[in-house]
Homo-oligomer: A and B are copies of this chain.
Amino acid sequence: MDASGEELSDLELENEAEHCGVEQEQEQEQEPETVAIMDAVKVLLQGLGEDINREGIRKTPLRVAKALREGTRGYGQTAKDIIQSALFPEAGLHNGVDQAGGAGGIVVVRDLDFFSYCESCLLPFQVKCHVGYVPSGQRVVGLSKLSRVADVFAKRLQKPQRLADQICSALHHGIKPGGVAVTLHCSHVHFPSMESVFLDSKYPGWVKVQVQSGSGAFENQDADVWMDFFSLLKFRGTDLSKAAGAPNLDAQVWCPSHFSSSKFSTRIESVNPRMIAAVTSILRSLGEDPSRKELLGTPGHFVNWLMSFHNCNVDMKVDMKKLNGFANGRIHCEPNDNGNNLSEKQIQSELNFLFWSQCEHHLLPFYGVVHIGFIRVDGLTPLEKSLLNPVIHFYGLKLQVQERMTRQIAETVSSFLGADIIVVVEASHTCMMSRGIEKFGCTTATIAALGRFSSDAGARAMFLQTIPKTTIGEL
């Protein structure tokens, strides 16, 4: 591009806009439900020990309210309106047989991506949906309507089995086909646990469940048409046997809020009743009944999740004796980095530290892995990887932005790993798949480079090539 454009645009930093009173106006224009959610979010932010006027989170209440209302708009929609406009007459294969595709004539739309909100904890979860039906009554439905109908039910507080059942039922009554089959692969973020925070643990991926729902010809789970349906998914690359073989969680209690380590939760002195009341008010503002059985525990679960990101919740349990010893050794043995080129052997890569964080702009999870590179010094005790875990979680477990977290980790580890540091963070941001953005599978990578890694592109490249292909963000 031609980057010569020197003209100054009149963009303003967010905080500068406030002085114009624009924001106050915006707030006043909102609907009562939105204002009620904003008030509740302010209570939650204060409960997290945050200053609600801090730059970066001042607009968070409005962002959260808009995202929640947009993400649950399915309460105001009905599938009937959607299907009604797109039923097309289509002659059947057999005279006398009332099916457009003939026996076994399934129509399957595969790999539809959605997100939904977990009714147990109010966090978004990802849904990969495969939906099929056997046409009947000499009519077929427009393919995109299968996606639109599924979206109506995804945009509510859900659990996987009910979501599958509602999609199936709505399509069955709308299309009146020979049968409907729905398979969902649902993926939910793990909650941070004591084990994951203070021990060296592998990236746990997601909590996953697979659920099915069938009607008509698919009502019997052993019916042959299910075999056809699964065959059509299988050669698309969807390995259903793998999902079936794995210890499938009970889809009714799949949410990690039900089985998250209570050790971690007990670090919170007592659950703040104002925060609980705030989440209850949010549920009501979304059009839900907070006394519905499945929602009774939701405010507690959400507050529990949120309090993982309390500003002073994680102590920096760094073994300072070990780290200082490590640091002292390094100071005396610092290699001359103005001299020869570094070799690959001199760069130490500590990869795939798991982290959780909470986006301060949207109060939504982002999580993934941290990779750290530094200069190896021969003759010293090797670094124990677990020493770095508390540093990462100290900066992860609070309201954050990924760019800041990357910089903070680099600055902190440079105090005991030397001046030459490179930190890479790869993360999935829930705020990129929800809120009308709905970009599934996208991930964000950030780099902070200090000392030699800042000035020496070859050193950066040597470190970067040690990072393996990751599956962050993949279902």
Query: CA separation between A424 and B467, bound complex, in Å?
Result: 41
Q: How far is the CB of A64 from chain B (nearest CB, A)?
A: 14
Residues of B within 8 A of A448 (CB): 93, 101-102, 105
Residues of B within 8 A of A13 (CB): 87-89, 139
Tell me whether A453 is interfacial, beta carbon within 8 Å: yes
Q: Which of A28-36, A110-118, A268-276, A305-313 contacts B (4 or more CB under 8 A)?
A: A110-118
Residues of B within 8 A of A168 (CB): 1
The answer to whether A165 and B1 touch (CB under 8 A), given A147-B437, A460-B104, is yes
- Of chain B, the residue at the smallest CB distance from A168 is B1
Query: CA separation between A105 and B224, bound complex, in Å?
Result: 56
Q: How far is the CB of A20 from chain B (nearest CB, A)?
A: 12
Inter-subunit contact B439/A113 (CB<8 Å): yes
The answer to whether A88 and B56 touch (CB under 8 A), given A140-B403, A213-B1, is yes
The 8 Å CB contact of A411, one of B93, B106, B460, is B93
Inter-subunit contact A105/B447 (CB<8 Å): yes
The 8 Å CB contact of A442, one of B110, B214, B454, is B110
Interface size class of A (residues with CB under 8 A): 35 or more
Q: How far is the CB of A156 from chain B (nearest CB, A)?
A: 17
Inter-subunit contact B110/A450 (CB<8 Å): no
Q: How far is the CB of A389 from chain B (nearest CB, A)?
A: 22
Tell me whether A46 is interfacial, beta carbon within 8 Å: no
Inter-subunit contact A237/B450 (CB<8 Å): no
Inter-subunit contact A1/B214 (CB<8 Å): yes
Residues of B within 8 A of A207 (CB): none
Query: CA separation between A231 and B139, bound complex, in Å?
Result: 51
- Of chain B, the residue at the smallest CB distance from A140 is B403
Tell me whether A457 is interfacial, beta carbon within 8 Å: yes
The answer to whether A457 and B227 touch (CB under 8 A), given A172-B3, A404-B90, is yes
Residues of B within 8 A of A344 (CB): none
Inter-subunit contact A107/B446 (CB<8 Å): yes
Q: Which of A4-12, A240-248, A326-334 contacts B (4 or more CB under 8 A)?
A: A4-12
The answer to whether A228 and B88 touch (CB under 8 A), given A100-B403, A148-B437, is no
Inter-subunit contact B236/A435 (CB<8 Å): no
CB proximity to B under 8 Å, residues A438-465: 438-450, 453-455, 457, 460-461, 464-465
Query: CA separation between A227 and B228, bound complex, in Å?
Result: 47
Inter-subunit contact A147/B103 (CB<8 Å): no
Residues of B within 8 A of A468 (CB): 235
CB proximity to B under 8 Å, residues A1-50: 1-3, 5, 7, 9, 11-15, 17
Inter-subunit contact B14/A444 (CB<8 Å): no
Inter-subunit contact A11/B174 (CB<8 Å): yes
28 cross-chain CB contacts under 8 A: A1-B213, A2-B169, A3-B169, A15-B89, A90-B404, A93-B410, A93-B450, A102-B407, A102-B448, A102-B449, A104-B453, A104-B454, A105-B407, A105-B446, A107-B403, A108-B444, A108-B445, A109-B442, A112-B442, A113-B440, A143-B431, A143-B432, A228-B460, A231-B467, A235-B464, A235-B470, A236-B426, A236-B443
Given contacts A56-B88, A101-B446, 4 further A-B contacts (CB under 8 A): A1-B172, A2-B169, A55-B89, A111-B473
Which 8 residue pairs are nearest across A and B when measured between Cβ atoms?
A: A224-B457, A3-B215, A231-B464, A103-B454, A104-B449, A232-B445, A235-B467, A1-B168
